[in-house]
Amino acid sequence: MNWKNVKNYQDIKYEKMEGIAKITINRPEVRNAFRPLTVSEMIEALEDSRLDAEIGVVILTGAGEKAFCSGGDQKIRGEAGYKDEKGMNHLNVLEFQKKMRNLPKPVIAMVAGYAIGGGHILHMLADITVAADNAIFGQTGPKVGSFDGGFGASYMARIIGQKKAREMWFLCEQYNAKAAEKMGLVNKVVPLKDLEKETVFWAKKILEHSPLALRCLKSALNADCDGQTGLQELAGNATLLYYMTKEAQEGRDAFKEKRKPDFSKFPRQP
């Protein structure tokens, strides 16, 4: 495939092709575990995708075939988070989770190998997950002294139900791709060799559709779980659509032209 490198990073690869951006966690030697730098780079790349009007879908993946992501890098875990190169502790993956959800464009997780711990949460927060038949899913928090009580708990329960979410967190078992598909964690399982082709096919299908409809649908689906933040996001789209009308522009123009606005020509819809 004809991916074009956007910028050189240390811990990720960031590429684009035909309306699709691809963020690849590139630390295969630790099963693509993330450290603060990895997350900062992912946040920057995601922000670039948001601002690029040519981009309609973002693919999040991991380098190699062994892992999508194994969560936070336990080797640099300090006393209050994950230590950066200056020794400062972070949990900036929570910020990235929010940004994935707020991105007004669909995110597809392309999962080969392990999606474990915080890596499992990342695929869960993607709008769609396409998995290879070698994918393995699970949480490890209670085993390694960690947990994600945010989206990692409540959104998981929305997806797979309370009983299964408790099983997944309390037992820390691993689930193969077919089991994950059965639980509703995965949209499609494909042979490993077809993973990228199939994921790009899903992305291209999405790209054929109305960007505004997709944007509003994503925020509507988020709003159901996200309380006031979700309503703010959904309402932001209503404001965006309103700003695009002649009616809203009349208010703006009248202010700039120092005259009384004339809204009389705009109908009161039933």
Q: Which parts of this chain interact with ligand 2NE (CB under 6 A)?
A: 30-31, 33, 66-67, 70-75, 91, 93, 114, 116-118, 140-141, 144, 146-148
Nearer to ligand 2NE, 135 or 206 (CB): 135
Tell me how far, at minimum, the Cβ of 132 lies from ligand 2NE, in Å.
15
The token pair at 249 is 């522009």
Strand spans (E) along the chain: 4-8, 12-17, 20-25, 57-62, 67-69, 82-83, 89-90, 107-111, 114-116, 128-132, 136-138, 174-176, 188-190
Phi, psi of 63 (to 5 degrees): -75, 140
Query: Based on CB atoms, which residue is closest to ligand 2NE, 20 or 116?
Result: 116
The closest alpha carbon to 29, from 74, 71, 81, 64, belongs to 64
Q: Smallest gap, in angstroms, from Cβ of residue 89 to ligand 2NE? A: 12
Phi, psi values for residue 5, rounded to 5° = -65, 135
Least distance to ligand 2NE, CB of residue 172, Å: 9
Least separation in angstroms between CB 174 and ligand 2NE: 7
229: buried, middle or exposed (CB in 10 Å: 19+, 13-18, 0-12)? Answer: middle
Burial of 53 (0-12, 13-18, 19+ CB in 10 A): exposed
> In the complex, what is the shortest distance from the CB of residue 147 to ligand 2NE, in angstroms, rounded to a whole number?
6
Which is nearer to ligand 2NE, 56 or 71 (by Cβ)? 71
Calpha distance 158→75 (Å, rounded): 32
Q: Are 119 and 148 in contact (CB under 8 A)?
A: no
7 close to 21: Cβ distance less than 8 angstroms: no
Nearer to ligand 2NE by Cβ, of 30 and 225: the residue is 30
Q: In the complex, what is the shortest distance from the CB of residue 104 to ligand 2NE, in angstroms, rounded to a whole number?
A: 25
Residue closer to ligand 2NE by CB (options 114, 175) is 114
Cβ nearer to ligand 2NE, comparing 142 with 211: 142
